Structure 1
Amino acid sequence: MTLNVVFMGTPKFSVPALEILIKEKFNILKVYTQPPKKSKRGQKINSSPIENFCKKNEINFSNPKNLDNEKEFNTFQKLSPDIVIVVAYGQIIPKKFLTKTKFGFINIHGSLLPKWRGAAPIQRAIMNGDKKIGISIMKIEEKLDSGP
């Protein structure tokens, strides 16, 4: 049985996870990423690495500014995913989304939780001089980075 997957990610760190899902023949229904942002000198507008990957590989993607509205919720609900994989997406998933999949939302976080919860865990581990690093994989619950 092939799982129907929605993927949510934004930075370069999240690209390998999406590549593996595609390589392993999961059915990617849609990818969510952050909208383009101004950055660097000249405040050039830059798309996220995930958006660039999706464009290059002709993958259906969306980059909503905010998920917490009826339009986005209805769109997501119609996808009817079996599972959602989240890797450094950059937005808190609204509670009502969390019950609309068969197997839930799985988050891949770039630290050994509970250490370095939140954004930029790899950078914070390096700045702290941590000798032991890793990732945490958990089911998403209402509280950020608190799943089993």
Structure 2
Amino acid sequence: MWTNGTTAVASLRIFQHLQHCCVQSLRRSKAERWQRRFGTSSSGPPWRLLFFGSDEFAVESLKLLSSSRSSSKGIVETLEVVTLSSDVPVKRFAQQNHLPVQSWPPENVDGQFDVGVVVSFGRLLHERLINKFPYGILNVHPSLLPRWRGPAPIFHTIMHGDAVTGVTIMQIHPHRFDVGPILNQELHPVPEKCTADELGAALATKGAHLLIDTLTTLSQRLVQKREQGEKGATFAPKINMSMSWMVWEEQTCDQIDRLYRAIGSQIPLRTIWMGRTIKLLDFVGRCHISLSVPGSLSYQKHCNTLAICCKDGWVGFKAVLLKKRLTACPSSVRLRTNSCTEHCWFGITAGLTFFI
């Protein structure tokens, strides 16, 4: 029992000081155990690093890691690369910059590296491989985890109209993608009307710099890492052709706009014309025409645009792709909807581009 208030306060401060010292001691002991277990003599940079990647998004991180080998900060000591095939941007960059390249799965990893980095690699890493890296394997993921776990977070960010996204540096766990503890995270506002390609380029640059920042203080960040919760978790599956079909009576102008900005550069939007598939190209946004039956068409001669009626308005396209060229004459057009097939007449002029 405390004899007075002063003694109680002093004793509490001593206890807090001892508690802080114990925590720091435990953190140092953990790092030392890693060093003894894996035979590494350093608890900080420069790191011996193995990079796993494939596409242009991954190249941005690899570029910064490569340049860090000769920087005064000394973040990277050695750098090697693992790729899935010969025809990917990461392998081309590695060869052009004389980086050692290994095929998948990598061999001779034991004792060769301190930490691994995965960026847009597309393969689940086995626990045996992860355990060969004293400081684990990091992943640069272009979303604010746990939102948009999975292979296509940028596309789903645009498709669902997110106003804010970001980049997460997490530690890879075996068995499941994108569920490991978070080491670093940074927000990024989504610019209005930006495409998935534009957003991807911005996040690739931000992710590369966030990776360097994480590697600079990696030991400390590993101690302070936080586990992901399931609250707010969403999944971002790969994009595919089934996402590109128009359902005119269900989709709004804004939904079509977001869909085009998300996948249009890789998968054209599609609809049915006279029983045949056509691809809708060069989207121009909402057209100001009186509302009609979804699936109806109207050629806007003053702006050289083919307008199509959807759930809440009209959207326009400058070109469509067909198997044969359309002539400049009135045509009977049918656009398939879920409930029925709508008919209308419209004039096609030479100004509207059709491709064979």
Instruction: State TM-score, norm by structure 2.
Output: 0.35
Residues in 2 aligned to 1:113 and 1:4: alpha-carbon distance in whole angstroms = 27
1:33 aligns with 2:83: yes
Residues in 1 aligned to 2:78 and 2:54: alpha-carbon distance in whole angstroms = 16
Segments of 4+ moved more than 4 angstroms? none
Q: How many Å apart are 1:34 and its aligned residue?
A: 1.7
Measured against aligned partners, the alpha-carbon deviations of 1:43-92 in whole angstroms (never above 9, x if no partner) come to xxxx111011011111111232xx3xxxx4x42226x2100011111101
Q: Which runs of 5+ in 1 are unaligned?
A: 37-46
Q: How many Å apart are 1:16 and its aligned residue?
A: 1.2
Q: Which runs of 5+ in 2 are unaligned?
A: 1-44, 70-75, 182-356
Task: Give the aligned length.
Answer: 130
Residues in 1 aligned to 2:78 and 2:121: alpha-carbon distance in whole angstroms = 16
Instruction: State TM-score, norm by structure 1.
Output: 0.81
Written as runs of structure 1 = structure 2, the 5 A alignment for 1:121-140 is 121-140=153-172
The structure whose Rg is larger is: 2
Written as runs of structure 1 = structure 2, the 5 A alignment for 1:54-73 is 54-64=94-104, 67=105, 72=106
Residues in 2 aligned to 1:19 and 1:35: alpha-carbon distance in whole angstroms = 19
Is the Cα contact below 8 Å between 1:7 and 1:28 reproduced in 2? no
Point out which structure has higher relative CO (alpha carbons under 8 A, 6+ apart). Answer: 1
Amino acid at match of 2:142: G
Is the Cα contact below 8 Å between 2:66 and 2:79 reproduced in 1? no
Amino acid at match of 1:48: V
- Structure 1 counterpart of 2:108: 75
- Structure 2 counterpart of 1:40: none
- Structure 1 counterpart of 2:23: none
1:15 aligns with 2:59: yes
Aligned with 2:120 (options 77, 81, 88): 88
Residues in 2 aligned to 1:55 and 1:21: alpha-carbon distance in whole angstroms = 15
RMSD: 1.5
Q: How many Å apart are 1:31 and its aligned residue?
A: 0.4
Q: How many Å apart are 1:131 and its aligned residue?
A: 0.9
1:109 aligns with 2:153: no
